[in-house]
Amino acid sequence: MGFWLRFNLLVFTIAILSTPVLSDLILSKVDRRIDLTSQIVRITSTLKVENAGSGLVSEVLLAFQSFRLKIWYLMATTNEGKGKTKSAGVSLPVEIANPKGMPPALTVYSVSLSKALGEGDTMSLDVLAVFTHTLKPFPEKITQADIQLVLFQDSAYYLSPYAVKFQSLSIKLPDARIESYTKIENTKIHGSEIKYGPYENLHPFSYSPLVVHFEINQPFAVAQELVREIEVSHWGNVQVTEHYNIVHEGAKSEGEFSRLEYQARPHIRGSSAIRHFVAKLPPRAHSIIIGMKLGIYQHLICGLILKELLIEPRYPMFGGWRTAFIIGYSLPLQDFLFELEGKRFLNISFASPINDLVIDNLVVKVVLPEGSRDLSVSTPFPVKQRQESKISHLDVVGRPVIVLEKADVVPEHNQYFQIHYSFNKLSMLREPFMLISGFFFLFVACIVYVHVDLSISKSSASYLAKLQWDEVRATIQQVESIINQCLATHEKIEASLRDLSRIGDVQACKTTRKTADGLLKEHSKELKPLLAFLQSSPAAANILPKVEELVAKERELQERWMAKHSIIVDCYEKKLGGREIENRVAPQQQKVVALRQEVEDLLEYIDEI
């Protein structure tokens, strides 16, 4: 790594030494401050610009090292007044410029001045440059017990196409522990701050390599992709849903993770781990939800003015570890939707509410109500834009969706943007009208269904066949009922025989037999017209054989019962022994049991049909 660092610096130095001077501007004073307290590097430069030439100058060029630094956010403002009299600066347009003769090792931006500088005129500019992925972990892999060290490279001199009369540099670090730093003339260190300069009379493109190797245990949370969906409802709500896919891009963790050591000494055995994320939600946010992925859980800390959402992963996130979750919350419509000159416009923040989160790719989807038209977008910085549609509940043609996409997003991009559109107020009645109409037609359909006869025509063949089958089924049910009554009569005969064997009352047994004979004859008479109907009905052709077989088996069962009864009564009148009675009755008993089983099987079969 040291070889490539020296090689890159050598190539860069040769390139800038061959770069021509671009104008007669000079920087009479440069005060540069570099903030390295987080993964986001913020460089604030206060420039006092002087026109030493005779012509008017309407732009100021800013140069940066393109081989190492990638600018994610750049802003230039005018600096007027001092101390308490200092007024808010005016933001100036900044664009990439391509001056002739500029080496590829430099990226040059042009700041357009609101008023051209004449001969001898001066003005002050505040330039804020934000960089990410600039702090390189060194070593690149650490264990749970190691601290995280990073390298930062820059120039001790302000890199500019203009001559600099006087300049100073201060580097603010997160901690006083510094492994090493470049020492040149006029270098001082005060706690966690390194100061270089002042340096005077520097030529254009003066460059002095600067490397700082220091400890930083701040989280390097990077959202590789964040999708924010903002759904606007004119019924009083703005629903925001954010899908996060986050990775810790600090020094990668190697070795095993010990939960015991982490809980015992979290600031030593996990100093570089991400313990939680803090999202600052709008003050009136409500209905906060979190979609769980990979074991995420949450705590909510709500204040009266400021709402903070504290999200703690199940495990602390070390270098190279990932997590994913979803945040959802609702906002009152009146705080973000306004009306101007007959058009409505949504005014809402662009980026994530999570503190110090770097976003590689951000997609913002704004879902407007169905019927919105004449859409236009106003953003404070360039974004990619396209339009889609989304079908939701009670939609007919779909809701228009404005999709804004931007790579390389930092907290400074979390500014308000506006979406202007036209909307007819009568369109709000569409969904209530659809609901009312739907319920109305449903009730009408129910009323019609209840009062209209939807049965098949009584003269049709299928209807007549259905009637015939209903009559056949009712007749079969009567036959089954009579057969069950016959079986109950058989059980009475069996009960009288048990009483005979117990008390020996022959006369009572004969009386029961006489009563049973009368009942069975009545049942037989009742069966005759039923069987005659079934024999005459075409609908009963398939089931008639089983019914006739059932009646025949029941009659045979009657005969066997009567024979058994006669044998037992006769034996008791002759006063025969019990063994002799059993021997005489045994053949009849076997027939009775077999016939009873056949009758029950036939009844079950007919019931199934």
- Total structural domains within the chain: 3
Residue 439 included in any domain: no
- 205 and 250 inside one domain: no
One domain, residues 333 and 416: yes
Predicted pLDDT at 573: 78
Q: d(Cα 138, Cα 5) in Å, to the nearest integer?
A: 13
pLDDT digits (tens, 9 = 90+) for 216-269: 988 899 999 999 999 999 888 999 999 999 999 988 988 888 877 777 777 777
Q: In the β-sheet with 187-190, what is the strand arrangement from edge to edge?
A: 91-92, 71-78, 122-131, 41-51, 25-35, 163-172, 193-202, 187-190
Residue 170 lies in a domain: yes
Give kind and range of the element (H or E) at residue 413: none
Q: What is the DSSP secondary-structure string of 72-120?
A: EEEEEEE-BS-GGGPBPPPEE-EEEE--TT--TTEEEEEEEEEEEE-TT
CATH of the domain at 390: 2.60.40.1730
Residues 185, 154: one domain? yes
| 1: confidence class by pLDDT, cuts 50, 70, 90 | very low
Same domain membership, residue 472 and residue 347: no
Whether the per-residue pLDDT at 9 is higher than 80: the answer is: no
Are 205 and 313 part of one and the same domain? no
When pLDDT is cut at 50, 70 and 90, the band that residue 458 belongs to is low
| pLDDT category of residue 501 using cuts at 50, 70 and 90 | confident
Confirm whether 438 is domain-assigned.
no
Same domain for 268 and 381? yes
More confident residue, 54 or 406: 406
Mean pLDDT over all residues of the chain? 83
Report yes or no on 443 lying in a domain: no
- 292 and 417 together in one domain: yes
Do 247 and 163 fall into the same domain? no
Global pTM reads 0.67
As a whole-number percent, the residues of the chain with pLDDT over 70 amount to 90
* pLDDT single digits (tens) 464-476: 778 888 888 888 8
- What's the CATH number where 528 sits? 1.20.1420
Q: Are residues 207 and 333 in the same domain?
A: no
**Domain residue limits at 600:** 465-608
Q: Euclidean distance between the first and final Cα of the chain, in Å?
A: 89
The pLDDT of residue 293 is 58
Domain boundary (161, 191, 215) is at: 215
pLDDT digits (tens, 9 = 90+) for 557-598: 888 888 888 888 888 777 777 777 778 878 888 888 888 888
Quick one: average pLDDT of 38-67?
A: 88
Q: Any alpha helices (H) in 247-363, and if so which ranges? A: 259-264
In a domain? residue 437: no
Is the same domain home to 416 and 285?
yes
Same structural domain, 173 and 284? no
Q: What letter represents residue 582's amino acid? A: E
Distance of alpha carbon 310 from alpha carbon 305, whole angstroms: 16
